């Protein structure tokens, strides 16, 4: 892992602005720093690969590399209350953002789809709770690689399964890294 990459992100995190982190990883990408093969998980599996690249010793952020086969995508999910920034290192990704508009007594959620965005190499985006609900996946015909910076170790999140009448049921899942 490049010391310069970690230090640049550490300075952006210190600014306490997720947009600073996104701008930093975009600048690093422009200079080719994110092309390091160490950022690429080694193998595709039945699901997208999720690899820990760096964990800040102070617990302020983690860097996670993901590799996506064509068609692989997440379910609708949140980010466990953490902010995040991501950059497409290679390939084409589709992000569908949702806004939470209601919750019922049974803990079901109702969402409105906000927008769909196609992101290509060098594209960045940010998530900030409570605006952190989305689906994210490979929209291309070749493997895609993304780098994510989260404001802490995202060890769990809620994924949402659609039910009838526009409601979604949350399920808390534990997240793991691929070897």
pLDDT in tens, 5-28: 667 676 666 665 677 777 777 776
Q: What is the per-residue pLDDT for 165? A: 87
Q: Work out the percent of the chain whose per-residue pLDDT is above 70.
A: 80
Q: Mean pLDDT in the chain?
A: 86
Selected residue with higher pLDDT from 33 and 126: 126
d(CA 42, CA 72): 16
Q: Which domains are assigned to the chain? A: 3-174 (2.60.120.10)
Tokens of 124: 């960045």
pLDDT digits (tens, 9 = 90+) for 73-118: 999 999 999 999 999 989 999 999 999 999 999 999 999 999 999 9
> Which of helix, strand or coil describes residue 21?
helix
Global pTM value: 0.84
Measured CA angle at 70 (ends 141, 121), to 5 deg: 70
């Amino acid at each position: 892992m490049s010391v310069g990459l970690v230090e640049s992100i550490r300075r952006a995190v210190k600014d306490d602005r997720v947009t600073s982190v996104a701008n930093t990883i975009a600048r690093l990408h422009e200079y080719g720093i994110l092309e390091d093969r160490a950022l690429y998980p080694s193998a595709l599996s039945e699901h997208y690969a999720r690899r820990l690249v760096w964990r800040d010793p102070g617990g302020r952020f983690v860097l996670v590399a993901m590799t996506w086969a064509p068609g692989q995508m997440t379910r609708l999910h949140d980010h466990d209350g953490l902010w995040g920034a991501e950059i497409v290192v290679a390939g084409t990704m589709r992000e569908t953002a949702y806004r939470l508009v209601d919750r019922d007594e049974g803990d079901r959620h109702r969402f409105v789809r906000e927008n769909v965005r196609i992101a290509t190499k060098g594209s960045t985006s940010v998530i900030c709770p409570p605006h952190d609900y989305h689906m994210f996946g490979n929209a291309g015909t070749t493997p895609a690689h993304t780098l994510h910076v989260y404001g802490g170790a995202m060890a769990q999140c809620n994924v949402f399964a659609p039910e009838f009448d526009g409601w979604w049921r949350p399920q808390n899942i534990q997240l793991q890294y691929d070897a």
